[in-house]
Amino acid sequence: MIIVRLKGGLGNQMLQYAAGKAAALRCGSQLKLDVSNLYSKITNDTPRFYELDAFKLEAEIATEKELQKINPPFKKLFRKIFRKITGKNYLVCDPDILKARDNSYLEVVWPCEKYFADFREQIFSDFQLKKPLSQSGQSIKEKILKSKNSISIHLRRGDYASHKTYKSWHGLCSPSYYQKAVDYILNETKAETKKAPVVFVFSDEIEWAKNNLILPAELTEIVYVSDEKIPAYEEIHLMSLCHHHVIANSTFSWWGAWLDPKSAKIVVAPRQWVADSSVDTKDVLPNTWVSL
């Protein structure tokens, strides 16, 4: 059995599941999910809950009895069965996770496609939506599919902007980053289409995006997608339908870009994934993505 601890929001839970699923497939084991860290009761923390039930993946929740095998309540009476892998640097691929054996507990798993790239088709299949899109989501999907050169843009704010600790660690992508990123895609695709692409904007503070996002004047249509009627998991799916992507320093839009199967896609990501430039983030972005 492989048990992976889920922590954080939807994008992080997807990364943790994917790494755990791949580890289980490598050693021919069963995957179970530890959700005990969700539903945080810490008053100054962002509330989190289990969000993977929107997808077609199959994974059982680890029982309390199974979790006791990781941290036995009475060490003299219980033998510690599971090997705990906590990760040495969460933004760099940890070889111990790639070599995880049966009866491993994966505690820290963050952005790195190396954990599950060899099971790409399986992960794509697992993250298919269970239910049809909402009416609002379907309307956006139709607009995206009609556009021959669409660009998704994601602005991550929320607790990145309001929570002192998160802001100092993650930092925020500036409006100029988005302008440069869109300029890059426009220049790269200029020979492919005579019509400017339709831009689809996603954000947890969509009004802020409307008032502060600076985009090239040549764009003829900008669609602000995010709405309370469209669930988060639908937004990731809608991002993946676009032709090109400008992501934030966020696992949410990381997945929106990664789940796009088009080989000709351009993905632009921030070079500085966290505020501290001395932190090694070399494994966060796939090799084909562009950092600015």
- Dist. CA 211–CA 214, nearest whole Å: 9
pLDDT of residue 91: 79
pLDDT of residue 77: 46
Amino acid in the structure at residue 231 = P
Can you list the pairs that 255-263 forms with residues at least 24 positions away whose Cβ atoms lie under 8 Å?
Answer: 255/11, 255/14, 255/15, 255/127, 256/152, 256/154, 256/202, 257/152, 257/289, 258/113, 258/286, 259/124, 259/127, 261/124
pLDDT of residue 250: 93
Beta-carbon count within 10 A of 138 CB: 14
The pLDDT profile of the chain, 292 residues, written as one tens digit per residue, is: 999 999 889 999 999 999 999 999 999 999 999 998 886 655 556 668 899 999 999 889 999 888 887 765 555 444 556 788 876 667 788 888 899 999 999 986 778 899 999 999 999 999 999 999 999 999 999 999 999 889 999 998 766 766 677 677 677 888 999 999 999 999 999 866 667 889 999 999 999 999 999 898 888 799 999 999 999 999 999 999 999 999 999 999 999 999 999 999 999 999 988 878 888 888 999 999 999 9
The answer to whether 103 and 83 are in contact (CB under 8 A) is yes
Beta-carbon count within 10 A of 179 CB: 15
- C-alpha distance from residue 7 to each of 74, 85, 149, 277 (Å): 26, 15, 35, 24
pLDDT of residue 70: 78
Phi-psi region of 286 (alpha: psi -120 to 50; beta: other; left: phi over 0): beta
DSSP letter for each residue of the chain: -EEEE--SSHHHHHHHHHHHHHHHHHTT--EEEE-TTSS---TTSPP----GGGBS---EEPPHHHHHTTS-SSTTTS---SEEE--SSTTS--HHHHT--SSEEE----S-GGGTGGGHHHHHHHTSBSSPPPHHHHHHHHHHHH-SS-EEEEE--THHHH-HHHHHHH----HHHHHHHHHHHHHHHTTT-SSPPEEEEEETTHHHHHHH----TT--EEEE---TTS-HHHHHHHHHHSSEEE--SSHHHHHHHHT---TT--EEE-S-SSS-TTS--TTSS-TTSEE-
